[in-house]
Amino acid sequence: MKKASTNRKGKRAKTIKDFEVVNKHCAGIDIGSREHYVAVAEDRDCQPVRSFGCLTPDLHEMARWLKSCGIDSVAIESTGVYWVPVVEILEDHGLEVLLVNARHVKCVPGRKSDVQDCQWIQRLHSYGLLSGSFRPPSEIQALRSYWRQRASLVELCSQQIQRMQKSLEQMNLQLHKVLSDITGVTGMAILRSILKGERDPKKFVKMKHALVKSSDEVLAKALTGNFREEHVFALKQAVELHDIYQAKIAECDFQVQAVMATLQTQVDLTKRTTSPKLFKRKRRKNQPNFDLRSHLYQTTGVDLTQIDGIDAMTAQTIVSECGFDMISFANEKKFSSWLGLCPNNRVTGGKVHSSRTRKVANRAANALRLAAQSLHRSPTALGAFYRRMRTRLGAPKAITATAHKLAKLVYRMLKYGQDYVDKGQEYYEQLYKKRVYKNLQNRAKQLGFQLVDSNTGEFVS
What sign results for the dihedral spanned by CA atoms 14, 17, 23, 29?
Answer: positive
From 100-104, 148-152, 253-257, 455-459, the region with the lowest mean pLDDT: 455-459
Whether 122 and 146 share a structural domain: no
What is the residue range of 346's domain?
A: 269-416
Whether 394 and 273 share a structural domain: yes
Q: Which one is predicted more confidently, 2 or 203?
A: 203
pLDDT for 316 equals 94
DSSP assignments along 336-400, one per residue = HHHHT-S---EEETTEEEE-PPP----HHHHHHHHHHHTTTT--SHHHHHHHHHHHHH-HHHHHH
pLDDT for 18 equals 65
Q: Which one is predicted more confidently, 143 or 272?
A: 143
Find the mean pLDDT for residues 373-393.
Answer: 91
Has residue 148 got a pLDDT over 90? yes
Q: Which one is predicted more confidently, 106 or 138?
A: 138
Q: Is residue 371 part of a domain?
A: yes
Report the predicted TM-score, pTM, of the whole model to 2 decimal places.
0.82
Whether 399 and 444 share a structural domain: no
pLDDT for 1 equals 42
- Which CATH number characterizes residue 147's domain? 1.10.287
Polymer length in residues for the chain: 461
Chain-centroid distance of CA 240 in Å reads: 31
Alpha carbon separation from 301 to 201, 310, 416, 419 (Å, rounded): 52, 16, 10, 10
DSSP assignments along 387-442, one per residue = HHHHHHH-HHHHHHHHHHHHHHHHHHHHHH-PPP---HHHHHHHHHHHHHHHHHHH
Whether 287 and 342 share a structural domain: yes
Whether 445 and 412 share a structural domain: no
What is the total count of domains within the chain? 4
Q: Is residue 15 part of a domain?
A: no
Q: Is residue 133 part of a domain?
A: no
Q: What digits encode the pLDDT tens for the residues 28-65?
A: 999 988 999 999 998 898 899 999 999 999 999 999 99
Has residue 353 got a pLDDT over 90? no
**To 10 degrees, the CA torsion angle through 305, 311, 316, 321?**
-90
Whether 215 and 332 share a structural domain: no
Yes or no: say if 157 and 246 are a contact pair by the CB < 8 Å rule. yes
pLDDT for 90 equals 94
Yes or no: say if 32 and 114 are a contact pair by the CB < 8 Å rule. yes
Q: Which one is predicted more confidently, 55 or 328?
A: 55
Whether 275 and 252 share a structural domain: no
Q: Is residue 8 part of a domain?
A: no
pLDDT for 275 equals 40
Percent of the chain with pLDDT over 70: 90
Q: Is residue 4 part of a domain?
A: no
Confidence of residue 110 (pLDDT cuts 50, 70, 90): low
Whether 302 and 332 share a structural domain: yes
Number of CB atoms found within 10 A of residue 173's CB: 25
Find the mean pLDDT for residues 153-160.
Answer: 95
- Which CATH number characterizes residue 70's domain? 3.30.420.140
Q: By C-alpha distance, which of 86, 124, 127 is closest to 105?
A: 124
Q: Is residue 459 part of a domain?
A: yes
Whether 457 and 406 share a structural domain: no
Yes or no: say if 420 and 352 are a contact pair by the CB < 8 Å rule. no
- Cβ-proximal residues to 152 (8 Å cutoff; 6+ apart), any chain: none
Q: What digits encode the pLDDT tens for the residues 237-295?
A: 999 999 999 999 999 999 999 999 888 877 766 655 444 444 445 566 788 888 898 88
What sign results for the dihedral spanned by CA atoms 439, 443, 444, 446?
Answer: positive
Whether 386 and 249 share a structural domain: no
What's the burial of 268, exposed, middle or buried (CB within 10 Å: 0-12/13-18/19+)? exposed
pLDDT for 461 equals 63
pLDDT for 243 equals 95
Q: Is residue 226 part of a domain?
A: yes
Element (H, E) at 277: none
From 11-25, 135-149, 315-329, 407-421, the region with the lowest mean pLDDT: 11-25
Confidence of residue 2 (pLDDT cuts 50, 70, 90): very low
Q: pLDDT averaged over the chain?
A: 86
Has residue 313 got a pLDDT over 70? yes
- Which of residues 247, 262, 277 is at a domain's end? 262
Whether 78 and 186 share a structural domain: no
Q: Is residue 5 part of a domain?
A: no
Whether 281 and 375 share a structural domain: yes
pLDDT for 101 equals 83
pLDDT for 138 equals 86
